[in-house]
Structure 1
Amino acid sequence: MEPKQGGGSEEPFLRHVEKDVLIPQIMREKSKELCSDKVEAFTKCCEETGFLMVVKCQKENKALKACLTAYYKDPTFYEECKEEYLKEREEYRRTGIPTKQRQQKLPTSM
């Protein structure tokens, strides 16, 4: 599979795992943050109702799914997450340090 060309610049090559696993993982994390009010409402409902959550939390579950699905299907959101992934990938290739380790190793003030 060759990189696509568009507008005179080459689009970065993405492996299957990057397109189908890593970028969607970023999308899930970011969409949960963006839908945090619905995540919180669903979580609270589940905690309050226990085993009956399947029946009693349908409204909250439906709202949460609708919010998340809207982001998952948004091509602009996908492109934003892809760009974030590409920046992280480029930084990793440059430094050899994964993003999460770089964030943990930030110097503390003395």
Structure 2
Amino acid sequence: TCLEKAEKHRHVEKDVLIPVIMRDRAKELCSDKVQAFTKCCKETGFLMVVKCRKENTALKDCLVGYYSDPSFYEECKTEYLKQREEYRATGIKKKKQKITSNI
């Protein structure tokens, strides 16, 4: 039914589409930790699991901090709704771009 389709769409928005925006924004906001972890991995090769623990922990802590922040979720939800509204008005899907934050 129409109601079931709407409920499924809301589920996809809440559990998939908004988290994608959250992930992208969090990666950007944690970019210094992403770069440090990437650099460590490139320098240590197969030993990265052992030698890059500090960088990996710092990166995880940064990302999880954003993922678990209700206000960050609301910001990303607002961004998603804005993109959805623009798509519905124009029929043109917005290209992925870097998103800046005022956090």
TM-score range, shorter chain: 0.7 to 0.9
Instruction: For 1:10-49, list aligned pairs within 5 A.
Output: 15-49=10-44
Q: What's the TM-score once normalised by structure 1's chain length?
A: 0.79
CA RMSD of aligned residues (A): 1.5
**How many residue pairs were aligned?**
90
Q: How much has 1:64 moved relative to structure 2?
A: 0.2
If each structure's helix is expressed as a fraction of its own residues, which one has the higher value?
Answer: 2
- Partner Cα separation in structure 2 for residue 100 and residue 32 of structure 1: 18
Q: Which runs of 4+ in 1 moved over 4 A?
A: none
Which has the higher Rg, Structure 1 or Structure 2? 1
Structure 2: state its 5+ residue gaps.
4-8, 98-103
**1:6-85 equivalence runs, <5 A:** 15-85=10-80
Note the C-alpha offset of 1:86.
0.1
TM superposition score normalised by structure 2: 0.84
Which residue among 78, 83, 91 is the counterpart of 2:86?
91
Which of 1 and 2 has higher RCO (CA within 8 Å, sep 6+)?
2
Offset of 1:32 from its aligned partner? 0.3
